[in-house]
Amino acid sequence: MKTLVTGGGGFLGSHLVERLRADGHDVYVARRADYDLTRWEDAERLFKDAQPERVFHLAGEVGGIGANRVNPGRFWYANLMMGAHVLELSREQGLGKLVIAGTVCAYPKFAPVPFHEDDLWNGYPEETNAPYGVAKKSLLVGAQSYREQYGLDSIFLLPANLYGPRDNFDLETSHVIPGLIRKMLDNPDRVTLWGDGSPTREFLYVDDCVEGLVLAAERYDGAEPVNLGTGAEISIRELAEQIAELTGFEGEIEWDASMPNGQPRRSLDASKARELFGFEARMPLREGLERTIAWYREHAGATAGAPL
């Protein structure tokens, strides 16, 4: 199948492209260096170049708490416009299937744990990443609206926090796992971490997420959003201790409580994905961390994430 992957040069996208090609698909990779999907002209040119039968829309401007605090307007605008352009062009070209990657950041700040898809609209997202989360959630509305009016088979998936080899290790924009790994390997005596370590998160290994995307594309055609996760919750403090052990970090961990914690708790109910298209995450967190650390040790010079 002729498949377009937006963000195909990025962290998740590069793993998905490898999987799709291994499965025999004709994959067109859209990279930010070649197509600025916030511009209609570039997005239109991409669809003309790719002539896709199916699209995985993974492109986004993303980052951890720090990046979200610095770029709230940009993250809202870029993610909203990219998704809107992909939806409209998919409609124009009569696309067979559109798979949109949402974000766990779309959930309300105080949603009951584990997060269930029915709770998605029961409150406002956590403030530090709300512009990004709201922009992504707007794409769910767009996907459902285009399905209702135009019959576009567009599905919307909500992955947990991702990690794994080829993640973005740039400390200015990275998420928590690559940030912790780099800090502890680069600063063996002392690291300072944001918040007090009490928030909890759920982490999904990148290859597990790819499996979920592929299964959903093949087996799911519904309008309702679906979580992709493990159901395993860990505190940031426990995560830091585990990464310290796995990296051999024996220095001091200092918690800067003057900096934001982010959302208090995050964990997904992934039962719907199992029931609807047979998805189940398989990578244990410890093994996934070991693989991620090993990749970083080998590629320590390539600290910034690849262009999306």
- The answer to whether the CB of 262 falls within 8 A of the CB of 129 is yes
The fraction of the chain above a pLDDT of 70, given in percent, is: 97
Phi, psi (rounded to 5 degrees) for 296 = -65, -40
Q: Is residue 186 part of a domain?
A: no
Q: How confident is the model over 94-142, as pLDDT tens digits?
A: 999 999 999 999 999 999 999 999 999 999 999 999 999 999 999 999 9
CA distances from 247 to 18, 29, 134, 171, 187 (A): 28, 34, 36, 17, 11
Burial of 209 (0-12, 13-18, 19+ CB in 10 A): buried
Q: Is residue 93 part of a domain?
A: yes
Q: How confident is the model over 199-251, as pLDDT tens digits?
A: 999 999 999 999 999 999 999 999 999 999 999 999 999 999 999 999 999 99
* 132 is annotated as an active-site residue: yes
Q: Is residue 55 part of a domain?
A: yes
Among candidate residues 107, 132, 146, 205, the one labeled active-site is 132
- Average pLDDT for residues 262-282, to the nearest whole number? 96
pLDDT of 303 over the 80 cut:
no
- Average pLDDT for residues 150-160, to the nearest whole number? 98
Query: What are 187's two structure tokens?
Result: 């600063």
Burial of 1 (0-12, 13-18, 19+ CB in 10 A): middle
Q: Is residue 299 part of a domain?
A: no
d(CA 181, CA 134): 29
Q: Is residue 32 part of a domain?
A: yes
- Domain of 88? 2-163+201-233+266-282
pTM for this prediction = 0.94
Q: At CA 241, angle to CA 235 and CA 242, rounded to 5?
A: 90
- The answer to whether the CB of 307 falls within 8 A of the CB of 168 is no
Q: Is residue 101 part of a domain?
A: yes
pLDDT of 307 reads 37
pLDDT of 308 reads 38
pLDDT of 186 over the 60 cut:
yes
Q: How confident is the model over 44-96, as pLDDT tens digits?
A: 999 999 999 999 999 999 887 788 889 999 999 999 999 999 999 999 999 99
How many domains does the chain divide into? 1
Query: What are 154's two structure tokens?
Result: 């567009």
Q: Is residue 256 part of a domain?
A: no
How big is the chain by its Cα radius of gyration, in Å?
19
Question: What CATH number does residue 150 fall under?
Answer: 3.40.50.720
Burial of 42 (0-12, 13-18, 19+ CB in 10 A): middle
